[in-house]
Amino acid sequence: MKFFIDTADIAEIRELAATGIVDGVTTNPSLIAKSGRDMIETIAEICDVVPGPVSAEVAALEADKMIAEGRRLCEIADNVTVKVPLTWDGLRACRTLADEGKMVNVTLCFSANQALLAAKAGATFISPFIGRLDDIGLDGLELIEEIREIYDAQDFDTEILAASIRTVNHVKDCAKIGADVATLPPAILRKLAEHPLTDKGLDAFMADWAKTGQDILKG
């Protein structure tokens, strides 16, 4: 499963990209606003740091303007993925941009039928928001399973990008049921490496090493 970072914070992206486990980045108008920076400038800098897909969302609601904005965003860098909402206008924009060879991430997906439409429209990625479904008492992971079953049965190439991930268990479960990508807030990505027994074991090893008085670099 690929890991995308869900942020527009350049410092966070640089730090996590240095680990070699970051495959892409997703942004949205809220994240750009939080960064306080110019959108075009921010996306360009992110694309320079991360060679994988970088989702940049259109601001328009009407198809023709979405298409125009998507084309403008794709001028920033070759790895820009145009993010459009799962509306009829968004699907129309997706079809046009996909036919032009551009990557498209169809976002705000909350049902398997919506995901089916996005794949038919040529989406590169479909973004089901599992955390938001959990928030209203539904099962976000069940939606991932349904989409996986449909895409496999119909032989669609659209990748399932699990979004609105709230916990490390969301990540594990998405990997188990076949999500192609998980887009994670930086804090969740960092937590994947944490375990109290790892910390306890490391403390014991370091204490024992200190007793030897040795230094690997000086030995």
CATH number for the domain formed by residue range(s) 2-194: 3.20.20.70
pLDDT at 175: 98
pLDDT at 35: 87
- Asked whether 100 and 120 are in contact (CB, 8 A), the reply is no
Per-domain boundaries in the chain: 2-194
pLDDT at 136: 97
pLDDT at 218: 87
Q: pTM for this structure?
A: 0.94
d(CA 181, CA 174): 9
Question: Positive or negative, the Cα torsion across 100, 117, 24, 46?
Answer: positive
d(CA 124, CA 55): 11
Set 34, 83, 191, 211: catalytic member: 83
pLDDT at 100: 98
d(CA 125, CA 202): 39
d(CA 177, CA 175): 6
Residue 35 tokens, joined:
């960064």
pLDDT at 41: 95
pLDDT at 103: 98
Label residue 218 exposed, middle or buried (CB < 10 Å: 0-12, 13-18, 19+).
exposed
pLDDT at 29: 87
Tens of pLDDT along the chain (219 residues)? 999 999 999 999 999 999 999 999 999 888 888 888 999 999 999 999 999 999 999 999 999 999 999 999 999 999 999 999 999 999 999 999 999 999 999 999 999 999 999 999 999 999 999 999 999 999 999 999 999 999 999 999 999 999 999 999 999 999 999 999 999 999 999 999 999 999 999 999 999 999 999 999 987
Distances (CA, A) of 1 to 32, 63, 177: 26, 32, 11
Check if 83 is active-site: yes
pLDDT at 132: 97
Q: How many residues does the chain have?
A: 219
